[in-house]
Chain A
Amino acid sequence: MADFVSVVEQIGAEVARASAADVDAGARFPRETFEALRAARALSAAAPAAFGGAAASVLELSRMCTALGQHCASSAMVLAMHHIQVLSIATHTAGRPELGEYLGQLAREQRLVASVTSEVGPSGDMRRSVAAVQTAGQRFTLSKQATTISYGAHADDLLITARRSPDAAPSDQVLVLAPRGTYRLVGAGAWDTLGMRGTCSPGATVQVEGEGWLILPDSFGDIATFTMVPTSHILWSSCWLGIATDAVAKAQALVRAKGRATPGVVPRAAQRLCELVRKLQSLRDEVQAIAREYDELRNARDTDRLASLSFALRINNLKLTASTLVVEIVSEALSICGIAAYKNDSPWSLGRQLRDAHSAALMISNDRIYDTNASLLLIHKGN
């Protein structure tokens, strides 16, 4: 599996890096990178071995995302979101044979899965839906207005949250798998953003008509608690770690060059580099420690701990830490590199990395997470 990480690292260095500037400039999907990832069978890395996947641990998936994120953060974020969807299906099939067959097909055909959790409406809360599944006999229909669907137009299949039925409460949600052919995307908007431009995430209305087995048997509440929320925060943070690693590598290379120009004199920038490397180290340690802890809990099926408030706080804190540190690290690297990194047409440019890094605080807004943690800390006694 270490090999898998190095294969993705190689795709990053050879394919994603070469197209990253064009992907960013055109706000276009990084198709070359995904062709290479498909050829390397990286899209089934998270699927169980029984269905033809590589059964990678979350730590290994995290390393894949970090490796790719050093070259093209949009590509890394798409890969991260895809892995999150595959884990959500694979962990919650409850032995339903059709879902097992689907995972086999995903591995054979290297299908790309996108997520539709956002929704036009008052709450902006992933754990409350407006759209509802309407069941008629063995079939169902679903229509949902999403505010963003990352790489929706480039995905094979979608995973959509909705209320269980038209009379269900907003928090009584299910997760619906919509393979290509069962859904239509209508009225997709434009995607012209500051950063993460290659994720191509405009809003659209998704209309689904399919068979009942496509509604995952576990409640979305359980899927979110045990799988989707922790793996999202771990794998997103892994992408941001990739951006930060890239920025620090550039600052280090530039300071080394200065050092070589004046042997015997430690450049002033080297002092600031110490601080930067310290921050990068704590970010890397935090991401990897929580990925390891999550893998252990998942392997031990320790649902009590996974569903505990203390673990929710820990996972939320990872998101807050990583999304804040990535902006600090890229900003400081920019300041150390100076004009060389400020120029867009320079090999040292950090413009794209800085713009991409600013998306981190918005993906589930940090304000919302602070609100949640503040409320959890009223009842939680430990720290």
Chain B
Amino acid sequence: MAYAEQGQVPTGTPVGDIRARIRSVLKEHSQLSVDVSSLADTADLYEAGMTSRASVSMMLALESEFEIEFPDTMLRRDVFESVEAIGAAVEQLLARH
């Protein structure tokens, strides 16, 4: 996140790659009523049709994809409400490794 905010990371670097992988997980598991590729990074996924049930499937798939575990304190609606928010959470967990 810090890199992205400072604008130091061009497309194709890890941050961009993480977002692409998140989008691929979303496409598979979030059961959105719209095409994931049409959504901005900041778009609200719940407004785009993601149910609580689908959000749990997505969390499990993200844990598997990135080999991370979301601690219970991160299991909140706002942490998973957009590609950007999920990206921030994933980067924070990957940085701990």
Chain A residues packing against B (C-beta within 8 Å): 125, 127-128, 164, 168-172, 219, 221, 225, 304, 307-310, 372, 375-376, 378-382
Residues on A with beta carbons closer than 8 Å to the beta carbon of B73: 304, 308
Interface size on B, residues (CB 8 A): 25
The chain B residue sitting closest to A379, CB to CB, is: B59
Q: Give Cα distance in the complex from A376 to B55, angstroms.
A: 10
The chain A residue sitting closest to B49, CB to CB, is: A169
Q: Does B33 contact A (CB under 8 A)?
A: yes
Q: Give Cα distance in the complex from A350 to B56, angstroms.
A: 42
Are B48 and A169 closer than 8 Å at their CB atoms? yes
Residues on B with beta carbons closer than 8 Å to the beta carbon of A372: 52-53
Are B46 and A221 closer than 8 Å at their CB atoms? yes
Please tell me which one of the listed residues B51, B69, B76 contacts residue A171 in the complex, with CB atoms under 8 A apart: B51
Are B56 and A225 closer than 8 Å at their CB atoms? no
Residues on B with beta carbons closer than 8 Å to the beta carbon of A221: 46, 77
Are A380 and B50 closer than 8 Å at their CB atoms? no
Minimum CB–CB distance for B33 against chain A, Å: 4
Indicate whether A307 sits within 8 Å of B50 (C-beta atoms), given known contacts A378-B60, A379-B56, A381-B69. Answer: no
Residues on A with beta carbons closer than 8 Å to the beta carbon of B60: 378-379
Residues on A with beta carbons closer than 8 Å to the beta carbon of B51: 125, 127-128, 171
Q: Give Cα distance in the complex from A161 to B47, angstroms.
A: 15
A-B contact count (CB 8 A): 62
Minimum CB–CB distance for B94 against chain A, Å: 18
Could you list some 12 contacts between A and B, CB below 8 A? A127-B51, A169-B34, A170-B49, A172-B47, A221-B46, A307-B76, A310-B75, A372-B52, A372-B53, A379-B63, A380-B72, A380-B75
Minimum CB–CB distance for A368 against chain B, Å: 10
Are B46 and A382 closer than 8 Å at their CB atoms? no
The chain B residue sitting closest to A310, CB to CB, is: B72
Top 7 nearest A-B pairs (CB, nearest first) are: A169-B49, A309-B75, A169-B33, A172-B47, A307-B76, A379-B59, A375-B56
Q: Give Cα distance in the complex from A379 to B69, angstroms.
A: 9
Q: Does B66 contact A (CB under 8 A)?
A: no
The digit string for B3-31, where 1 denotes a CB below 8 A from any CB of A, is 00000000000000000000000000000
Are A376 and B56 closer than 8 Å at their CB atoms? yes
Q: Give Cα distance in the complex from A304 to B79, angstroms.
A: 10
Q: Give Cα distance in the complex from A378 to B59, angstroms.
A: 10
Residues on A with beta carbons closer than 8 Å to the beta carbon of B72: 308-310, 380-382
Q: Does B78 contact A (CB under 8 A)?
A: yes
Please tell me which one of the listed residues B47, B57, B71 contacts residue A168 in the complex, with CB atoms under 8 A apart: B47
The chain B residue sitting closest to A172, CB to CB, is: B47
Are B75 and A308 closer than 8 Å at their CB atoms? yes
Are A307 and B78 closer than 8 Å at their CB atoms? yes
Are A171 and B46 closer than 8 Å at their CB atoms? yes
Please tell me which one of the listed residues B34, B50, B59, B76 contacts residue A304 in the complex, with CB atoms under 8 A apart: B76
Residues on B with beta carbons closer than 8 Å to the beta carbon of A172: 46-49
The chain A residue sitting closest to B52, CB to CB, is: A127
Minimum CB–CB distance for A367 against chain B, Å: 14
Residues on A with beta carbons closer than 8 Å to the beta carbon of B78: 307
Minimum CB–CB distance for A353 against chain B, Å: 34
Residues on B with beta carbons closer than 8 Å to the beta carbon of A219: 46-47
Q: Does B32 contact A (CB under 8 A)?
A: yes
Residues 44-97 of B at the A interface (beta carbon under 8 Å) = 46-53, 56-57, 59-60, 63, 69-73, 75-78
Q: Give Cα distance in the complex from A310 to B53, angstroms.
A: 15
Minimum CB–CB distance for B53 against chain A, Å: 6
Q: Give Cα distance in the complex from A381 to B49, angstroms.
A: 26
Residues on A with beta carbons closer than 8 Å to the beta carbon of B75: 308-310, 379-380
The chain A residue sitting closest to B51, CB to CB, is: A171
Minimum CB–CB distance for A310 against chain B, Å: 6
Minimum CB–CB distance for A147 against chain B, Å: 20
Residues on B with beta carbons closer than 8 Å to the beta carbon of A309: 72, 75-76
Most buried by B among A128, A171, A380: A171
Residues on A with beta carbons closer than 8 Å to the beta carbon of B50: 171
Q: Give Cα distance in the complex from A225 to B50, angstroms.
A: 15
Q: Give Cα distance in the complex from A254 to B34, angstroms.
A: 63
Residues on B with beta carbons closer than 8 Å to the beta carbon of A169: 32-34, 47-49
Residues on A with beta carbons closer than 8 Å to the beta carbon of B59: 379
